[in-house]
C-alpha cells in the first residue's frame, strides 16, 4: 500500500457539490438534450472577454520576442506590468500604490493561497462570514490554520456585528471578506465596511496584534448599484486585497490576478516578502507571462457586463413575484433565495425533476438557501422561469 497524504487524497476525490451538480447537468444534457436542462450550478462567465483581449494577444504575439513573451518573469510579476496595474488602481481609487505593492498571481485562488500561507502560522484562526466560498476552508487549512465561520445574517447578508464580535477572540489572525459576494450577490454597504474597520481597529489595539483583513474581490467590477463600492484599504490599513481578472475580463482559464499589499499595512515590506515567499513555497514560480502583459494592456476595462444585470433583473423580479424571498443582490452573478423548505438539498433534488440544476446553500455554510448562478444566456432564464414557477406551486408559494 503506498503512503500518501490522506488529506490530499480526500481533497482530490471529494467532489464539491458545485462540481457534482455541474456533472449531473452535463449527464442529463447528454441524455435528454441540452435545451431541456437549465444548469445554474457554476460561476463560469457567460460573456466573452472584450475584443481588446484578443487584440492584445495578437499584438503581443506579433511584436514581442517569443523568448520574453513565453519566458519566466520575476517571481512577483513583470515590473512594467505591475506599474501599469498600480497606476490603474491609483487612477480609480486616488491612492499612491507603487508597483512593488503588487504581487501577480494565478487568479484570486492563487492570491488567497499566497496570502494565507504568508500570514498563517500553525494553529492560527481565521474568520469568515456565512455564506462563504468553500475553497476558503481548503486554503486556510493548507496554511496550517483553522477557519471559523460567523453565522449569516439572513435578512440582508450584511455582517451580524454581535455574532462577529463574539467570534473575534485574541486567537483570530485574520478575517476574510468577499464583496460582491459569492454566493449571495450582496454588496457590503459603506456602513458595514466602516463598522468592520472600527471593530478590527479596536480589537487589534486591545489584543496587541494586527488582525488582518483579507478582501477577496474577484467580482469588484460586477456591481449594479449606483453608489460606488467602498475601497476597503481606505477604511482599514491592515487590508490585503486578492483580485482576479477571471470575472471582470472573463478570463478564468488564463489564471491571472494579484495580491495588493498597500504600503500603509503594518510592516508592509515584510508582509510583501512573506507573500513572495509563499508563492515560492507553493511552487507558483510566476503568474502566466502572456496574460500578465494582456492584463496590463486591458487594466480598467471589463467584458460586456450588461447581460448580467438583465439576467438579474429578470430572474429576481420573477422569483419575488412567485413568492420566493431573496436578499437584494447588487453585484456578482448569483442569487441566493431562501428555499421554501428548510432542507435545501431536498429542494435541489425536487428541482432536478424539472432538469433545473441548483446548488444548496449548505455548501456555502448557509442552510435553507439555494445558489442560482445566473451567468447564463438570458434565454435559459426565460426557459427556466416556468420550472421555478412549478416548484413554487408545489410548495404552495403560489396557488
Q: 322 vs 332, which CB is nearer to ligand PLP?
A: 332
> Smallest distance from the beta carbon of 181 to ligand PLP, in angstroms?
7
> Smallest distance from the beta carbon of 399 to ligand PLP, in angstroms?
37
Enter the C-alpha cell of residue 288: 502566466
- Tell me which of 120, 218, 233, 331 binds ligand PLP, using CB under 6 A: 218
Q: Do residues 104 and 77 make contact, with C-beta atoms less than 8 angstroms apart?
A: yes
Q: 364 vs 388, which CB is nearer to ligand PLP?
A: 364
Q: Do residues 80 and 60 make contact, with C-beta atoms less than 8 angstroms apart?
A: no
CA distance 183 to 239: 22
> Smallest distance from the beta carbon of 184 to ligand PLP, in angstroms?
11
Pattern 32-71, binding to ligand PLP, x per CB under 6 A?
Answer: -----------x----------------------------
Residue 231 φ then ψ, to 5°? -85, 105
Is residue 293 within the footprint of ligand PLP (CB under 6 A)? no
384 three-class SS = helix
> Smallest distance from the beta carbon of 175 to ligand PLP, in angstroms?
15
Q: 43 vs 361, which CB is nearer to ligand PLP?
A: 43
Enter the C-alpha cell of residue 388: 421555478
DSSP 247-271: TTTT-GGG--EEEE--TTSTTHHHH
Residue 142 φ then ψ, to 5°? -65, -30
> Smallest distance from the beta carbon of 178 to ligand PLP, in angstroms?
5
For 16: left if phi > 0, alpha if psi spans -120 to 50, otherwise beta; the answer is: beta
DSSP 14-25: S--HHHHHHHHH
CA distance 394 to 245: 41
Within positions 129 to 148, which residues make up the interface with ligand PLP, using CB under 6 A? 133
> Smallest distance from the beta carbon of 244 to ligand PLP, in angstroms?
3
Strand duo 370-373 + 334-335: pairing? antiparallel
Within positions 84 to 123, which residues make up the interface with ligand PLP, using CB under 6 A? 107-109
Q: Do residues 249 and 207 make contact, with C-beta atoms less than 8 angstroms apart?
A: no
- Among candidates 115, 312, 140, which has minimal Cα distance to 217? 115
- Tell me which of 46, 158, 178, 215 binds ligand PLP, using CB under 6 A: 178
> Smallest distance from the beta carbon of 182 to ligand PLP, in angstroms?
4
Pattern 239-258, binding to ligand PLP, x per CB under 6 A?
Answer: -----x-x-----x----x-
Within positions 348 to 377, which residues make up the interface with ligand PLP, using CB under 6 A? none
Is residue 216 within the footprint of ligand PLP (CB under 6 A)? yes
Contact residues for ligand PLP, defined by CB under 6 A: 43, 107-109, 133, 178, 182, 216, 218, 244, 246, 252, 257
Amino acid at each position: 500500500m503506498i503512503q500518501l497524504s490522506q488529506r490530499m487524497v480526500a481533497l482530490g476525490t471529494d467532489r464539491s457539490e458545485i462540481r457534482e451538480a455541474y456533472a449531473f447537468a452535463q449527464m442529463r444534457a447528454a441524455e435528454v438534450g441540452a435545451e431541456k436542462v437549465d444548469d445554474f450550478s457554476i460561476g463560469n462567465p457567460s460573456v466573452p472577454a472584450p475584443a481588446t483581449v484578443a487584440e492584445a494577444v495578437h499584438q503581443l504575439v506579433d511584436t514581442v520576442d517569443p523568448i520574453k513573451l513565453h519566458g519566466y518573469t520575476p517571481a512577483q510579476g513583470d515590473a512594467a506590468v505591475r506599474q501599469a496595474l498600480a497606476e490603474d488602481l491609483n487612477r480609480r481609487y486616488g491612492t499612491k500604490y507603487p508597483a512593488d505593492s503588487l504581487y501577480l498571481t494565478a487568479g484570486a485562488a492563487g492570491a488567497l493561497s499566497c496570502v494565507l500561507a504568508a500570514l498563517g502560522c500553525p494553529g492560527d484562526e481565521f474568520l469568515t462570514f456565512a455564506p462563504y466560498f468553500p475553497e476558503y476552508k481548503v486554503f486556510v487549512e493548507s496554511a496550517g490554520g483553522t477557519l471559523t465561520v460567523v453565522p449569516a445574517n439572513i435578512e440582508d447578508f450584511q455582517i451580524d456585528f454581535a455574532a462577529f464580535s463574539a467570534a473575534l477572540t485574541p486567537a483570530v489572525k485574520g478575517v476574510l471578506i468577499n464583496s460582491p459576494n459569492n454566493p449571495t450577490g450582496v454588496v457590503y454597504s459603506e456602513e458595514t465596511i466602516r463598522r468592520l474597520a472600527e471593530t478590527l481597529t479596536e480589537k487589534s489595539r486591545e489584543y496587541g496584534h494586527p488582525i488582518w483583513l483579507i478582501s477577496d474581490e474577484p467580482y469588484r467590477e460586477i456591481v449594479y448599484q449606483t453608489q460606488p463600492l467602498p475601497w476597503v484599504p481606505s477604511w482599514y490599513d491592515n487590508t490585503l486585497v486578492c483580485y482576479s481578472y477571471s470575472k471582470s475580463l472573463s478570463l478564468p482559464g488564463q489564471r491571472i490576478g494579484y495580491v495588493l499589499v498597500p504600503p500603509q499595512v503594518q510592516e508592509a515590506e515584510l508582509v510583501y516578502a512573506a507573500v513572495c515567499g509563499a508563492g515560492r513555497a507553493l511552487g507558483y514560480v510566476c503568474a502566466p507571462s502572456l496574460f500578465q502583459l494582456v492584463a496590463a494592456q486591458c487594466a480598467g476595462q471589463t467584458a460586456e457586463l450588461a447581460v448580467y444585470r438583465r439576467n438579474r433583473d429578470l430572474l429576481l423580479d420573477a422569483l419575488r413575484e412567485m413568492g420566493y424571498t431573496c436578499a437584494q443582490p447588487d453585484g456578482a452573478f448569483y442569487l441566493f433565495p431562501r428555499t421554501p423548505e428548510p432542507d435545501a438539498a431536498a429542494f435541489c433534488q425536487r428541482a432536478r425533476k424539472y432538469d433545473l440544476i441548483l446548488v444548496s446553500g449548505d455548501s456555502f455554510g448557509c442552510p435553507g438557501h439555494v445558489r442560482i448562478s445566473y451567468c447564463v444566456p438570458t434565454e435559459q432564464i426565460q426557459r427556466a422561469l416556468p420550472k421555478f414557477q412549478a416548484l413554487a406551486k408545489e410548495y404552495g408559494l403560489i396557488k
